[in-house]
Amino acid sequence: MKIRKDGWVVAAGLLALSAASLAAPPTAAMLSNACAGCHGTHGVSAGPSMPSLAGQSKISIVESMKGFKSGERPSTIMGRLAKGYSDAEIDAMGEFFSKQKPETPVQTLDRAKIAKGQAVHEKSCARCHVEDGKEPKDNSPIVASQWLKYLQIQMDDYASGKRKMFDNKAEKMKPLSRDDLDAAAHFYSSVK
Amino acid sequence: MTLDRRNFLKMLGAGAGASALQGCAGTAPMVSAGGGEIMPKSGRRVVVVGGGYGGTIAAKYIRMLDASIEVVLIERNRQFISCPFSNLVVGGIRNMSDLTIGYDKLASNHGIKMLYGDVTAIDAGAKTVAMAAGTLKYDRLVLSPGIDFRFEELAGYDPVTTPEIMPHAWKAGPQTELLRKQLLDMKDGGTVVITLPLAPYRCPPGPYERANMIALYLKQHKPKSKIIILDANPDITSKAGLFRKGWAKHYAGMISYKGANKVTAVDAKNRSVLIEGVEEVKADVLNVIPPQRAGDIAVKAGLVGADKKWCPVNATTFESTLAKDIHVIGDACVAGAMPKSGYSANSEAKICATNVVALMNGRETIEISGINTCYSFITDKEAVSVAGVYKVANGAIVGVPNSGGVSPDLSELEAIYAESWLRNILTEMST
């Protein structure tokens, strides 16, 4: 259909259409801004149990969302929310948050646990959580400068078996004690 | 044949402009002379009225999206006190300071101009708002006025004196503290009555969470006391199964729920309410939550619909369907399936900001994608939630099928996340 310059009859008819029918589909920003009430403006969380998403690797955000959506990854509210998005929308949100500028959270950490956690990291985690957790590798997320409480909840979910692990991760993680896991969480939170 | 969306939109814009002039011709100017123009307008300007869950976010996101647009945020109070979590203050497990934010950082971080005071009138034709000090011009106006009450539907209710005796505590602040004080002053073995109006009202699960928080306090300090919920609705309006479960688990024998019990009259002297004009219920503490409507200024400006309660809006831009260039967000508007909640207001504000900026720059508007997340505390340690994802279908806001819903059970983890919900959303509003 083409609107002619003199096509006032056509145009008048179209004026009756609601603006909604003319709007573009939701952009990555439109989709992602809705998350910021909990995850902070542009994904910089004010903590402590809500993870920051700013600067996270796209693949880990996308995999997390798909895991929430399928129920493979345990959650309270995220499963219910993730079901509201198509794979393409999840991809767009992953892209959006991965491009935002991360900020180091201000939080209280235990110095002794950081030291212990560093040893745990080097022995058991460093192969995938490279550069002290500052860089993503494959689908391993960036864990450095994350909120401690969030990491602790994840560690609890792994330790209790609620959150499943792939074989390589399980092989490294299962021998670790709860204290080791907590120490590792302190260590990663401390890395700037 | 193809319709070029961009060109079509330009054409629409031109047509809409012409019709707006006609549309406004019938509107009598409402703005009083006051003290002249408060802040002369040079460039493009959006005025935002109401610095709550909606208004702060609309102001912030407009500035983040287009710093060339001047944003003036008008707010009555110097500080904002959150309604979410105010039930925990009533129950004695949070302080008012936990729920209180200021506007200084928000204003300086984003170059938002704050004006403190009441908006007394809006002239949609002249595109001005009036305050005691004078008038203010706008290109677009975003109203996030929250709620006011339909006191007139409760016989015997005096808008000034009755809330001092029977606090509604449905706007957080002195009313919250008054309800708390009345509970502290009540004798053990007393009766607390909570009454709530027919939906829609602000915060659907709020009255039931309030019963939990009052019960938490009474169970510990005044265990012989009772709570009666008189609900005008036929049944619990939100998270019903979870609230029932919580009452059975933690407050058996203390909370009694009565659906389809609509309060129609109050007697402040006698400390009683009347159900359907017949049955009188007396209590030691009466928390009467009156029926509600959009905030006064929206009613005054003629933005409420045929129901005379809420403001109908376009489902993409949140522009009023009754007045051009005025957008209404938050509890005051009719947002389809999105509930009247703080998180909805936050989400609607971002949608509105995105499309206000698009319209002011002649760009195509963007379809909405919205979220609601809402937590209710059962005890100090356990909470439940409801969540939803929203989109537009056939010009109306609907929930995305097969998504959202309520928690499977009461949960300590949800209480932990609820804490962070408050921290994040108040941070987003105040920085």
Determine, for residues A21 and B395 on separate chains, whether the beta-carbon distance falls below 8 Å.
Answer: yes
Q: Check pLDDT > 60 for residue B291.
A: yes
Q: Which residue has the tokens 């969302």?
A: A65
Chain A interface with B: residues with Cβ < 8 Å: 1-3, 11, 14-15, 18-27, 29-31, 33-41, 45-50, 76-77, 80-85, 89, 149, 153
Query: In angstroms, what separates the C-alpha of B7 from chain A's closest C-alpha?
Result: 9
Determine, for residues B373 and A89 on separate chains, whether the beta-carbon distance falls below 8 Å.
Answer: no
Q: Are residues B216 and B343 in the same domain?
A: no
Q: Are residues B281 and B417 in the same domain?
A: yes
Q: Are residues A120 and A182 in the same domain?
A: yes
The interface predicted TM-score (ipTM) is: 0.90
- Give the residue among B304, B348, B412 at the shortest CA–CA distance from B48: B348
Stretch B17-43: mean pLDDT:
57
Contacts of A3 in chain B (CB under 8 A): 3, 7-8, 11
Name the residue with higher pLDDT: B276 or B25: B276
> Do residues A26 and A14 touch, judged by C-beta distance below 8 A?
no
- Give the residue among A24, A9, A22 at the shortest CA–CA distance from B13: A22
- Domain span at residue B52 reads 19-76+117-148+294-364
Q: Are residues B218 and B135 in the same domain?
A: no
Domain tally for chain A?
Answer: 2
- Give the residue among A82, A85, A102, A122 at the shortest CA–CA distance from A41: A102
Tokens describing residue B265: 């009259």
CB-nearest to B392 from A20, A48, A149 is A20
Contacts of B12 in chain A (CB under 8 A): 14-15, 19, 22
Contacts of A84 in chain B (CB under 8 A): 371, 388-389, 399-400, 403-404
pLDDT at B11 (0 to 100):
38
Q: Which residue has the tokens 């403006």?
A: A41
Let me know if residue A155 belongs to a domain. yes
Q: Check pLDDT > 70 for residue B28.
A: no
Q: Check pLDDT > 70 for residue A16.
A: no
Let me know if residue B11 belongs to a domain. no
Stretch A105-111: mean pLDDT:
97
pLDDT at B277 (0 to 100):
86
Contacts of B60 in chain A (CB under 8 A): 41
Q: Are residues B259 and B280 in the same domain?
A: yes
Nearest CA in chain A to B374: A77
Determine, for residues B403 and A83 on separate chains, whether the beta-carbon distance falls below 8 Å.
Answer: yes
Let me know if residue B197 belongs to a domain. yes
pLDDT at B211 (0 to 100):
98
Let me know if residue B106 belongs to a domain. no
Contacts of B414 in chain A (CB under 8 A): 76-77
pLDDT at A187 (0 to 100):
98
Q: What is the CATH number of the domain that holds B234?
A: 3.50.50.60
Q: Check pLDDT > 90 for residue A10.
A: no
Q: Are residues B139 and B246 in the same domain?
A: no
Q: Are residues B132 and B171 in the same domain?
A: no
pLDDT at A4 (0 to 100):
37
Report the amino acid identity of residue B165.
I
pLDDT at B35 (0 to 100):
75
Name the residue with higher pLDDT: B4 or B62: B62
Report the C-alpha gap between A189 and A184 in whole angstroms: 9
Q: Are residues B219 and B174 in the same domain?
A: yes
Q: Are residues B180 and B276 in the same domain?
A: yes
Contacts of A89 in chain B (CB under 8 A): 369
Let me know if residue B99 belongs to a domain. no
- Give the residue among B11, B2, B4 at the shortest CA–CA distance from A1: B2
Determine, for residues A80 and B403 on separate chains, whether the beta-carbon distance falls below 8 Å.
Answer: yes
According to DSSP, the residues that pair with B398 across neighbouring strands are: B391
Q: Are residues B251 and B393 in the same domain?
A: yes
A vs B: CB pairs below 8 A: 167
Interface test with B, best of A10, A15, A65, A77 (most B CBs within 10 A): A77
Within 13 A of B409's CA, how many CA atoms are on the CB side?
A: 5
Contacts of A79 in chain B (CB under 8 A): none
Q: Check pLDDT > 50 for residue B27.
A: no
Interface test with A, best of B5, B6, B357, B371 (most A CBs within 10 A): B371
Let me know if residue A2 belongs to a domain. no
Within 13 A of A25's CA, how many CA atoms are on the CB side?
A: 6
Let me know if residue A3 belongs to a domain. no
Q: What is the CATH number of the domain that holds A76?
A: 1.10.760.10
Q: Identify the burial level of B277 via C-beta atoms within 10 angstroms of its C-beta, where 0-12 means exposed, 13-18 middle and 19 or more buried.
A: exposed
Nearest CA in chain B to A51: B420
Q: Are residues B335 and B420 in the same domain?
A: no
Let me know if residue A18 belongs to a domain. no
pLDDT at A21 (0 to 100):
53
pTM of the complete model: 0.91
- Beta strand B285-288 pairing with B119-123: unpaired
Let me know if residue A104 belongs to a domain. no
Domain final residue, candidates A69, A98, A127? A98
Domain tally for chain B?
Answer: 2
CB-nearest to B424 from A26, A46, A85 is A46
Stretch B84-101: mean pLDDT:
98
For residues B224-243, one letter each, b for 16 or more C-beta atoms within 10 angstroms of the residue's C-beta and e for the rest, the string is ebbbbbbbbbeebbbbeebb
Q: Are residues A92 and A128 in the same domain?
A: no
- Domain span at residue A172 reads 111-190
